[in-house]
């Protein structure tokens, strides 16, 4: 059972008035569609403040595809989640509509949608131990697998984002593949002089499998880099029909 429900149930059982809903208004996170992003994807909170994740768009419209929220302690979504909304199904009022969590400890926390974990990932920094200002490179893929045909174009769209709190300079995403099996038809790299805090780009790369790729699975490697930051790599595959 989620923390918010447990606190509410305890208060009602004791005959106490529930606190005002102000805690739910400390921070509100919405869903950006069709890109499937959190808004915002970084929050600085104090101990005792709450975050409300809602399955609605920033302009208060219902979402069109299923989502959930899972909250983890730490900078990576590993181990058991601290809170889990369950799956929201659009049009189903019996499915979860939101998730609220009150932070009682300092530290870093990560929240994701498990269905769209490549793009829907955010962080909460609680307390005075906020790390120094710095950029942070994130690379995701809107899809990892595709079917194609020799001579026909197939597209992939990586997502490069600055999830830190300072300008990220000379950001770049490049695509690599075996030339004998697939050709990159619209340029191998997309570059950006700078990405501000929270800013993202979604370059579209197109690929044309060759005749040698018929009946094979072709691997595409996407590599993101930026000045002074470790590079990030994601892989996608094209299953080429024979």
CATH topology of domain 3-126: Immunoglobulin-like (2.60.40)
Higher local confidence (pLDDT), 13 or 101 = 101
Question: What pLDDT does 21 receive?
Answer: 35
How far is it, in rounded angstroms, from Cα 39 to Cα 113? 12
Among the residue ranges 34-38, 131-135, 197-201, 233-237, the one predicted with the least confidence is 131-135
Higher local confidence (pLDDT), 73 or 5 = 73
195: pLDDT strictly greater than 50 = yes
pLDDT tens track for 103-143: 999 999 999 999 999 999 999 999 865 456 789 999 999 88
pLDDT tens track for 67-89: 999 999 998 999 999 999 999 99
Question: What pLDDT does 17 receive?
Answer: 36
Q: Where are the domains of the chain?
A: 3-126, 137-241
| DSSP summary character for residue 4 | H
Question: What pLDDT does 15 receive?
Answer: 40
pLDDT tens track for 141-185: 988 999 999 999 999 999 999 998 899 999 999 999 998 999 999
Question: What pLDDT does 141 receive?
Answer: 92
2: pLDDT strictly greater than 80 = no
Question: What pLDDT does 129 receive?
Answer: 58
Question: What pLDDT does 1 receive?
Answer: 35
Do 3-126 and 137-241 show the same overall fold? yes
Q: What is the mean pLDDT of residues 210-217?
A: 94
Higher local confidence (pLDDT), 230 or 13 = 230
| C-alpha pair distances (Å), 39 with each of 35, 105, 122 | 11, 23, 9
- A 10 A CB-CB count for 233 gives 11
CA-closest candidate to residue 178, choices 237, 233, 128, 232: 237
Q: Map tokens 């490549």 to a residue.
A: 118
CATH number of 137-241: 2.60.40.10
Q: What angle do CA 216, 220, 223 make, to 5 degrees?
A: 165
The pTM (predicted TM-score) of the whole model is 0.48
Question: What pLDDT does 191 receive?
Answer: 96
């Amino acid at each position: 059972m989620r923390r918010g429900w447990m606190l509410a149930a305890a208060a009602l059982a004791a005959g106490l008035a529930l606190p005002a809903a102000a805690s739910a208004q400390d921070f509100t996170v919405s869903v950006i569609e069709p890109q499937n992003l959190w808004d915002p994807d970084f929050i600085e909170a104090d101990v005792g403040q709450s975050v409300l994740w809602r399955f609605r768009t920033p302009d208060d419209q219902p979402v069109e595809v299923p989502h959930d929220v899972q909250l983890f302690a730490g900078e990576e979504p590993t181990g058991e989640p601290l809170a889990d909304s369950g799956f929201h199904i659009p049009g189903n009022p019996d499915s979860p509509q939101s998730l609220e969590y009150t932070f009682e400890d300092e530290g870093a926390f990560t929240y994701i949608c498990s269905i769209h974990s490549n793009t829907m990932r955010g962080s909460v920094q609680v307390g005075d131990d906020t790390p120094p200002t710095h950029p942070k490179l994130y690379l995701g893929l809107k899809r990892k697998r595709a079917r194609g045909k020799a001579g026909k174009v197939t597209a992939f769209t990586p997502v490069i984002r600055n999830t830190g709190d300072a300008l990220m300079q000379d950001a770049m995403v490049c695509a690599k593949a075996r030339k004998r099996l697939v050709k990159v038809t619209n340029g191998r790299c997309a570059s950006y002089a700078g990405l501000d805090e929270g800013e993202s780009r979604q370059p579209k790369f197109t690929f044309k499998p060759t005749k040698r790729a018929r009946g094979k699975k072709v691997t595409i490697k996407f590599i993101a880099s930026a000045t002074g930051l470790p590079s990030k790599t994601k892989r996608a595959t094209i299953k080429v029909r024979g």
